[in-house]
A and B are shown apart, each in its own frame.
Chain A
Amino acid sequence: MGEDKKAADKWAADKWAADKKAADKNAAGRSGRTRLQDAAIAAVFFLILGGGMALHLLTPDRERSDTERRVLEQFPQAEVETLLSGEFFRELESYGADQFPARDRFLQMRAEGTAGWLGELDAEGYYQAEGHIGRLEDAPSEASVKRAAEIYRQLAGEYGSQGHVYYTVVPSKNRYLAASHGYPAADYEAADQLLREQLEGIEEIPIAGLLDAEDYYRTDLHWRQEALVETADVLLAGMGNEAQASMAGYEEKDGGAFAGTYARQSFLPAEADRLYYMENSDTREAAVYDWETGGIGPVYQEEALGGRDPYDVFLSGAKALLTVDNPLAAEERELIIFRDSFGSSLAPLLLCGYSRITLVDLRYISRTALREYLQPSENCDILFACNDGILADSAMIDRP
């Protein structure tokens, strides 16, 4: 036997002897109290595992999670094919986690613990600053910004020949919170500059300087409509429209408490917001036509206030193509906004200056399909108003 093995064996033998001595001592010292301690730990272990299993089996399955805003996995169908491919077991793993009893409470526990004892500054990308919940964003690539610009240019060429074309960048809350609180942030100025260079000939209406973190919900990614009046004035003026939202007689309507998606998804503690919406005669009289459903509805969908996402009160939430007709408009003037969800709360404030506003969400409709519906009148203004997140991932709006 070699020296190496001898040395290793001696080392192992010494260690074994030490371990055995400790084990013997432990065994010798085993008393009723030790057995009680053993029983306690075993009882807790099996109670939690067995109890968890029983509750899992007994608790009815949920179809979706409102907090996470997603459909939950259901018990999979067992078929020979899915069993042999492993798909059944993969789905079963997801089902086990998705339908776990008190899942939301566990998620909250994790978020609090991650920020608490682990001291991590963000929980799955969500962070807290100035009483707000923010979310770390991926920095945009030049390619993504250029692709967005290319889409804007193409649409401007297609629909903007009759009127004026403008663009604005809807700033994300991160612009005002991240860097100033030590969180990594994208180089927004560089992204703005690049977009500016790419959109030469399309007039920019900058609004980032008009806003700050307080103009956004604490618990949500969106801006607060009641804080956008000045922004709406600037946009209207920028588009050569003499109407002013600040003079349009809007009054704040209280839509109740609002826990936004950031609060629900991050499970971080934050004081709930109140959601207000700005109503005047224009918004009351306007009719919203949904091209997908063919239905006509109001500007503010008040039923949404008690629903899963109260922000859907603004123009019914995510919609591919809407036309808002304002019978009280002072002049016949049309606006097309290529927008995202931020545009839903902005558009009602622009209504005072237009008889018709068409809202296009390029995430949900292809440019080819759009041609069928979009026929701008003469002197139609066109405004591109997507937020930083869309510019960072412009593949979302690239649906030829």
Chain B
Amino acid sequence: MVFSSISFLYFFLPAVLGAYDLLPGRYRNGLLLTASLFFYFWGEQGTVLVLVAMALAGYGAGRLLGRLAQAEGEDGTDGCRREGTEGSGLRRRVCIAAAAANVAVLAAFKYGLGGLALPAGISFFTFQILSYVVDVYRGDVKVQKSAADFLMYVSAFPQLIAGPIVRYKEIEGQIGDRLVGLGKTARGIRIFLVGLAKKVLLANELAVLAQKAGAAAEAGTLGGPQATVLGTWLAAAAFFFQIYYDFSGYSDMAVGLGHMLGFDFPENFDYPYTSASVTEFWRRWHKTLGGWFRDYVYIPLGGNRVPRWKWVRNVLAVWALTGIWHGAEWNFLVWGLYFGCLLILEKLVLNRWLSRLPRPLRHVYTLAVVFAGMVIFRGGTPGEVWEQLGRLVGFHTQAFGDSYSWYYLRSYARLLLAAAVGATPLPRRLWNWLAARCKGEEDADSGDSLGRRTAAVLWGLAQAAAAAWVLLWCTACLVGGSFNPFLYFRF
């Protein structure tokens, strides 16, 4: 089941949220666990057992680490070690064994060992379990004593399929005690609707353009689309925005749903296409994955407090892993290493040059290299990717454009413009400005005036109307069975 589907929006979600609000707090974890397992079973059926088994194994590893810590006397109460000490060799071995087992299961499914089907979201929930085990070992979190609560954390449907990667320590306190109020629910609804609009109204339409503009007719077609410079640019640009809106839209929906259920999930994207360097881009793109690799791979390898060659090795190792985390295909590895090399280059050489450039030029540089990176990410055979990259600058084609590519440009210009503007903070600033104006700085001085009250009411109505419009418009797109792929489901 995907969030952007009729079955989720009109059956699963209202049923779950309705029951969730009606039930006393102590039953909510149980309801969320049941709903989440059903949600996963809906799409994955038997592989729900993989999820449950991995979660229980992670839970067991945590309990074991806790008991060992208690036995070692490092912590007499809750199995949590004091920060900064990493404990005995036995606990270290348990932690490594648990981590290795998780990675092995992930690799077995992800890289097709034994022809196993890939369970949706396995890359995400494996990393959540891994971070929990390592954090217990490090003493950063308390051991979760309830298997059901731990299973609920791993399987919580908002973040189960495509992240964000919610670390246990980020919501540890909320598992047992969380508040669901009107303000938080409304905030969650707003974020969810923004994500839904990103996904259905932008990403799905962009996916159509990426597919159409990238399709060249086979030889021998009488008047079909040709491989042109313009068509290649359109397809690449459409994918460039599609992947952002697809993934960030899904993340927004997850965060919004989290709020509706009382959780505070970390945000995953922060206008990455406005970055002025690749380093900044990766602080803004898929933040939870970048943070995970930083804290669980890069820093343990020594980070940058090592000789330069080791630092280069560390960076390349992290980015090779980031690449293959996405899949076994060659392009993901190349994509990861491409960004690894760019980060090294920036650190060693480019930052000095970039800092002297006007900011717009730094944006152009960042957009250009990220754009090329997304062409690699999109994939195909090495020859096809090379050809596409070449065609962007006029190689491998006879024509700049044909009737098809010009048509697509005219037809999708407004969509591309909306996608470009939406990838900047401008819409959010406009929204905040309007909100501030309508709120009327009410607490600033003499209290409510009639004008301010009217403005506030109008703003409330505008928000409600916008919410209705997004929901109904997305419904209109979904009932027609529009093209509705989720790029990050395969990761």
Measured CB to CB, the residues of A under 8 A from B are: 1-5, 8, 11-12, 15, 27-31, 33-46, 48-50, 52-53, 56, 83-86, 89, 92-94, 96-97, 100, 103, 106-107, 109-110, 113, 117-122, 124, 138-143, 145, 179, 182-188, 190-191, 194
Contact = CB atoms under 8 A, between A and B. Distances in A.
11 contacts: A2-B299, A31-B442, A34-B439, A40-B463, A44-B467, A52-B10, A52-B475, A56-B10, A84-B46, A96-B10, A109-B473
A182 B407 contact: yes
Contacts, number: 215
B186 A37 contact: yes
B283 A191 contact: no
Contacts of A103: 479
B328 interface: no
A41 B478 contact: no
B13 A120 contact: no
Contacts of B182: 35, 38-39, 42
B480 A33 contact: no
Interface of B: 1, 5-7, 9-11, 13-15, 17-18, 42-46, 182-183, 185-187, 189-190, 193, 205, 217-218, 220-225, 270, 283, 291, 294, 298-299, 302-305, 403-404, 407, 410-415, 439, 442-443, 453, 456-457, 459-461, 463-465, 467-468, 471-473, 475-482
The 4 closest A-B pairs by CB, nearest first: A2-B303, A187-B223, A38-B186, A37-B460
Contact of B6 (A8, A100, A113): A100
A334 B412 CA distance: 52
Contacts of B14: 46, 49-50, 53
Nearest to A3: B304
Given A49-B13, A107-B479, A40 B460 contact: yes
A53 B407 CA distance: 40
Contact of B15 (A53, A145, A183): A53
Given A40-B460, A41-B190, A45-B467, A118 B6 contact: no
Contacts of B1: 89, 93
B106 to A, nearest CB: 22
Contacts of A124: 480
A36 B291 CA distance: 38
Nearest to B42: A89
Nearest to A146: B220
Contact of A186 (B43, B222, B305, B411): B222
Nearest to B408: A184
Contact of B304 (A2, A118, A190): A2
B298 A97 contact: no
Nearest to B299: A5
Nearest to A30: B183
A31 to B, nearest CB: 6
A142 B217 CA distance: 12
A197 to B, nearest CB: 13
B480 A107 contact: yes
A34 B436 CA distance: 11
Contact of A183 (B10, B407, B414, B464): B407
B9 to A, nearest CB: 6
Where chain A touches its partner, the secondary structure class is helix
A186 B404 CA distance: 10
A96 B6 contact: yes
A48 B473 CA distance: 12
A326 B43 CA distance: 60
Contacts of A119: 411, 413-415
A33 B477 contact: no
Contacts of B7: 92-93, 96
A42 B10 CA distance: 15
B189 A42 contact: yes
A97 B6 contact: yes
Contact of B45 (A86, A94, A118, A187): A86
A120 B415 contact: yes
B471 A48 contact: yes
A96 B11 contact: yes
Contacts of A4: 294, 298, 303-304
Contact of B443 (A28, A97, A113): A28
Nearest to B410: A121
Given A113-B476, A139-B222, A187-B223, 14 more contacts: A2-B298, A34-B183, A38-B186, A38-B187, A41-B463, A83-B45, A89-B1, A94-B481, A97-B480, A106-B475, A110-B477, A141-B220, A185-B223, A191-B222
Contact of A107 (B6, B224, B476): B476
A50 B223 contact: no
Contacts of A11: 283
A37 B186 CA distance: 9
B414 A5 contact: no
A5 B415 CA distance: 38
Contacts of B224: 138-139, 141, 186
Nearest to B5: A93
A47 to B, nearest CB: 9
Contacts of A8: 283, 291, 294
A29 B189 contact: no
A183 B17 CA distance: 47
Contacts of B205: 118, 120
A86 B407 CA distance: 40
Contact of A139 (B5, B221, B439, B467): B221
A141 B304 contact: no
Contacts of A31: 442-443
B412 A120 contact: yes
Nearest to B287: A12
Residue of B17, B186, B403, B414 with most chain A CB atoms under a 10 A cut-off: B186
A86 to B, nearest CB: 5
A184 B225 contact: yes
Contact of B476 (A5, A92, A109): A109
A124 B217 CA distance: 19
B270 A15 contact: yes
Nearest to A15: B270
Contacts of B220: 141-143
B45 A48 contact: no
A97 B467 contact: no
Nearest to A94: B481
A186 B223 contact: yes
Contacts of B468: 44, 48
Contact of A93 (B6, B15, B187, B464): B6
Nearest to A119: B414
B329 to A, nearest CB: 25
